[in-house]
Chains A and B, each alone.
Chain A
Amino acid sequence: MASGSGSTTAITTKGLGKRYGSLWALQDCTISVPRGRVTALVGPNGAGKTTLLRMLVGLSRPSTGELAVLGRAPRQDPEFLSSVGYLAQDVPLYPRLSAEDHLRLGAHLNEGWDADGARSRLAALHVPTDRPVATLSGGQRAQVGLGLALAKRPRLLLLDEPVAALDPLARREFLTTLTEAVADGDLSVMLSSHLLHDLERVCDHVLLLSSSRAQICEDIDDLLASHRMLLGRRRDLTDIERSLTVIKATQTERQTRLLVRCDGPVLDPSWEITEVGLEDIILGYMGQGDVPLGGHLNALEEVR
């Protein structure tokens, strides 16, 4: 595993697993996320997203495997803790304290705290900094939480479902703040969410966890370039599986619809080949997302 602050990977894991009792929340997770990426952490509920983020920030310890964050194993020392910003699910804040109080707490607890940056961001969004955070809206609290995480001037920012509870406007503002912060400096980000459209706007890398395992971990551009949707008459799939990786096959009586991974062009002219969006790829890997076309035809046939 890479070591030292000059590491080119933000996150590296090898056979990482976390078990709660007899239940594996995350299993055999081997990934490598380059620095400077904004990674979308996606997957169904219970896939281990929160578990992974908590291990990355050092709140919980792996049951098996290894992990390196910014080239080092997460550990209890001020330097590591300062280099990783973390915003937990539901944005935990001290309800009776104001945003300003939180910023002052942060200043006492962290080296190199950027209170001015955080204040000006909050001011620009008209978030009241003198009222108890319990009285703020969900969007404002999320901004305070993000502000606290960014004020650490972290090199890695981990966000657990930060926009799940926000209305569309607050979501857009949150993601804009995030994008600006990424543009400002050497920052890697991993954020989990169910809202794939939002993620597509801000992320350039994707990590898909499903059934407690990592299914995809790569740049979104590469992912889009290597996946195609093939549509053609119904046929046996044995041949095609020799040259392509079939991620998902939807068969109707007459048609076969395939989501495939291919490293070169698909040469068989009997396929109608279309590009696929990130959402379809991810849903394909999750074994969900029945594409309506097949079902539609099927239904028609049954009616007839």
Chain B
Amino acid sequence: MNFMIWRLHGNQAYFAAAALVVLTTILLVTGSVMAHDYAVALASCGATSSCADIGSFLFRGDGAIMDLVDLTLVTPLLFGLFWGAPLLAKEFEDGTHSLAWTQGVTRARWLRTNVMWALLAAAVWGAAMAALVTWWHNPENALGARFGTFDVQGFVPVAYSLFGVALGIAVGSVIRRVLPALATTLALFLAIRVAIGIYLRPHYETPVAKLYSLLNGKAGQPANSWAISNSIVGPGGHNYGDQFSLNELPKGCASIFPGKGGGDGGMSSCLASHGFHQLVTFQPDTRFWAFQGIEAAIFVVLAAALIGFTFWRVLSRDA
């Protein structure tokens, strides 16, 4: 069985390994430079003045390197498209499933071995990539908002990778043709990832809510936290959202709307004097790893469900 996997998919493995070596080399070199610059800058700013603008001393590679790191975001999708979707769809399309499933190994064993290798490859590749990128981001993480690069570091890339492959395999088991399976995997992967990122992730824990004066803006929001919402709250506690309509404005302030002569024309101070505040909700930086754990768990559970579906589909139905 393993010989079969290797003979059929060995080239893909070599290609993936080569790509990983290239990525590793680039990130190791630029990451080392960055870590070194950070240490030097930290030492010098500590000796002379404040370290507030240390970020500007930091080597971040050029744009291409940054882009490369950001692009690791799509590798789980690529696993789904190139390892997941064709795994069964190609066999069905070429009819070779009727060759493979009439040899002296049961269909269950054939499927188990194929799925296991695909998941293993995705997990190993995803873990290597995630570890690299997390390490590469270290100096930045110390400086800035980790939530901004939530999707490319920590555990979640591994979970996304498993999910991508599982989704591709499940789709291929239903659609049975490579190109339509690819297209469907692409659409479903993006839809699910985006939906969870936008609608679920902000609510893994109840956001912290804080009232701030309209006059000094968000100065009090904890550094590196992930802002969820920003709204204006009236004296009676009514939440106006982030925009007023004209007739909602207090009488004294309505006359200065729209603001003239730059800025908000004194609108903020007018509202502040009428007892309005700014309400900010956010997820503090300290929740980063909890959120990583929750999101990774969600995608691993989804992957497991998809694999379960695939086994049901392939084993309980006609070939």
Q: Is the CB of B102 within 8 A of A59?
A: yes
Q: Which of A60, A77, A81, A89 contacts B103 (CB 8 A)?
A: A81
Q: Is the CB of A59 within 8 A of B8?
A: no
Smallest distance from the beta carbon of B230 to chain A beta carbons, Å?
Answer: 56
Cβ of A174 < 8 Å from any Cβ of B? Answer: no
Q: Is the CB of A59 within 8 A of B318?
A: yes
Q: Is the CB of A109 within 8 A of B8?
A: no
Task: Closest A residue to B8 by CB, please name it.
Answer: A94
Residue in A59, A82, A84, A97 with the greatest tally of chain B CB atoms within 10 Å: A59
Q: Is the CB of A92 within 8 A of B106?
A: no
Q: Which of B96, B98, B104, B105 contacts A94 (CB 8 A)?
A: B96
Q: Is the CB of B7 within 8 A of A104?
A: yes
Query: What residues of B have a CB within 8 angstroms of the CB of A93 in the complex?
Result: 96, 99
Provide the B22-37 mask, 1 if CB < 8 A to any CB of A, else 0.
0000000000000000
Q: Is the CB of A108 within 8 A of B4?
A: yes
Q: Is the CB of B95 within 8 A of A97?
A: no
Q: How many residues of chain B are within 8 Å of chain A by beta carbon?
A: 22
Contact A92-B94, Cβ < 8 Å, known A76-B106, A81-B102, A109-B1: yes
Q: Is the CB of A94 within 8 A of B3?
A: no
Query: What residues of A have a CB within 8 angstroms of the CB of B192 in the complex?
Result: none
Cα(A148)–Cα(B100), bound, Å = 11
Contact A108-B3, Cβ < 8 Å, known A59-B102, A92-B94: yes
Residue in A54, A58, A109 with the greatest tally of chain B CB atoms within 10 Å: A109
Cβ of B107 < 8 Å from any Cβ of A? Answer: yes
Cβ of A213 < 8 Å from any Cβ of B? Answer: no
Query: What residues of B have a CB within 8 angstroms of the CB of A86 in the complex?
Result: 98, 102
Q: How many A-B residue pairs have CB under 8 A?
A: 73
Cβ of B108 < 8 Å from any Cβ of A? Answer: yes
Cβ of A198 < 8 Å from any Cβ of B? Answer: no
Smallest distance from the beta carbon of A52 to chain B beta carbons, Å?
Answer: 13
Smallest distance from the beta carbon of B97 to chain A beta carbons, Å?
Answer: 8
Cβ of A90 < 8 Å from any Cβ of B? Answer: yes
Provide the B71-103 mask, 1 if CB < 8 A to any CB of A, else 0.
000000000000000000000001111111111
Task: Closest B residue to A89 by CB, please name it.
Answer: B95
Query: What residues of B have a CB within 8 angstroms of the CB of A152 in the complex?
Result: 103-104
Cβ of A294 < 8 Å from any Cβ of B? Answer: no
Q: Is the CB of B103 within 8 A of A106?
A: yes
Smallest distance from the beta carbon of B247 to chain A beta carbons, Å?
Answer: 61
Smallest distance from the beta carbon of A116 to chain B beta carbons, Å?
Answer: 18
Cα(A59)–Cα(B100), bound, Å = 11
Q: Is the CB of A109 within 8 A of B107?
A: no
Contact A105-B104, Cβ < 8 Å, known A54-B319, A60-B318, A95-B94: no
Contact A109-B105, Cβ < 8 Å, known A60-B318, A60-B319: yes
Smallest distance from the beta carbon of B82 to chain A beta carbons, Å?
Answer: 16
Q: Which of B3, B100, B104 contacts A78 (CB 8 A)?
A: B104
Smallest distance from the beta carbon of B107 to chain A beta carbons, Å?
Answer: 6
Provide the B303-319 mask, 1 if CB < 8 A to any CB of A, else 0.
00000000000000011
Contact A81-B104, Cβ < 8 Å, known A97-B7, A104-B3, A109-B1: yes
Query: What residues of B have a CB within 8 angstroms of the CB of A76 in the complex?
Result: 106-108
Cα(A86)–Cα(B95), bound, Å = 13
With A81-B102, A95-B94, A105-B7 known, 9 other A-B pairs at CB within 8 A are: A54-B98, A78-B106, A88-B99, A97-B8, A104-B7, A108-B4, A109-B105, A110-B103, A110-B104
Binding site for B on A (CB under 8 A): 54, 57-61, 76-78, 81-82, 84-86, 88-90, 92-95, 97, 101, 104-106, 108-111, 148, 152
Binding site for A on B (CB under 8 A): 1, 3-4, 7-8, 94-108, 318-319
The 10 closest A-B pairs by CB, nearest first: A92-B95, A60-B318, A110-B104, A109-B103, A82-B104, A59-B319, A88-B98, A76-B106, A86-B102, A108-B3
